[in-house]
Amino acid sequence: MQATTIHALKEWAVAVNALEAGQTIMLLRKGGIHERGGRFQVAHERILLYPTYEHQEALMLKAEYANFVHPVTSGWHPETVRIGSWAEITNILPVADESIVSDLLPFHIWNEHFISDRLKWKPRQPLYILLLRTYKLPQPQEIPYLPQYGGCKSWIDLNEQISLMGAEPVLSDAAYTQLVETIRGIIGDKLYASTL
């Protein structure tokens, strides 16, 4: 396994916190506005989790997560960013059927409004279900915010390497495998499941 990385996936801070707490293993993505070709693509298998705040919306979250969102003004960013974990993206599952996505509701932090909104945006493109095995770093790293980290893009490369050594998995092997099998069972064998 690589000992360090600069590759990071940007995601709402509330989602990063839920991944780090073992409350979910799932992210739902359609792609950032500045994504290459306008489509979501997975650039790296092992990535740092980079928390963002600007576009978090309490109305898109289940009630138990909405209270953790504090609105910020457009363009706001922290002076430093806390990197507390990395993740391995173990499964990429494209889904276009709203009923299947609704059946996945117990496994992520978003509400029905978020699901409906994401499916309607760029309707010809599927919603990508990412399953992540999250590892907490032994010591969170505070890195300075840089302008190139901003913007509506999913992937960024940090200016400095972050060590992955000593990180502990949030969930046991058995617990993670069981969740993956349950989620894949809901999605069904009729859909192509891309595994890295």
Structural domain contains residue 62: yes
Structural domain total, the chain: 1
Predicted local distance difference test score (pLDDT) of residue 195: 44
pLDDT band at 17 (very low <50, low <70, confident <90, very high): very high
Whether 12 is covered by a domain: the verdict is yes
pTM of the predicted protein model: 0.87
Tell me: pLDDT of 136 over 80.
yes
Within 96-147, strands assigned E span 127-144
Instruction: Please tell me the predicted confidence (pLDDT) of residue 15.
Output: 95
pLDDT, the chain, mean: 85
Identify the residue whose tokens are 């009630």. Answer: 63
Distance of CA 157 to the CA centre of its chain: 16
Q: Residue 193 falls within a domain, yes or no?
A: no
* Spatial separation of the C-alpha atoms in residues 58 and 170, rounded to whole Å: 25
How does 45-63 read in b/e, with b if 16+ C-beta sit within 10 Å? Answer: ebbbbbbbbeebeeebbee
147 located within any domain? yes
Residue 196 lies inside a defined structural domain of this protein: no
- What's the pLDDT at 77? 84
Per-residue pLDDT averaged across 103-126, rounded? 79
Summarised one tens digit per residue, pLDDT across range 38-84 is 556 677 889 999 999 877 888 788 889 988 887 788 778 889 999 99
Q: Which residue has the higher pLDDT, 123 or 108?
A: 108
8, 49 Cβ separation under 8 angstroms:
yes
Query: Would you say residue 158 lies in a domain?
Result: yes
Give residue 147's domain range. Answer: 4-187
Average pLDDT over residues 150-169: 92
Which H or E run includes 120? helix 112-120
What is the DSSP secondary structure assignment for residue 54, as one 8-state letter? T
CB-based contact 166:1 (threshold 8 Å): no
CATH of the domain at 66: 2.30.130.30
Question: 101-116 burial, b if ≥16 CB within 10 A, otherwise e?
Answer: beebeebbbbbeebbe
Confidence of residue 34 (pLDDT cuts 50, 70, 90): very low
Give the rounded percent of residues in the chain with a pLDDT score beyond 70.
87
Per the domain annotation, does 70 fall within a domain? yes
Q: What's residue 193's pLDDT?
A: 41
Higher pLDDT, 181 or 114: 181
Please indicate, yes or no, if residue 194 is contained in any of the structural domains: no
Counting Cα atoms < 13 Å in the Cβ hemisphere of 61 gives 19
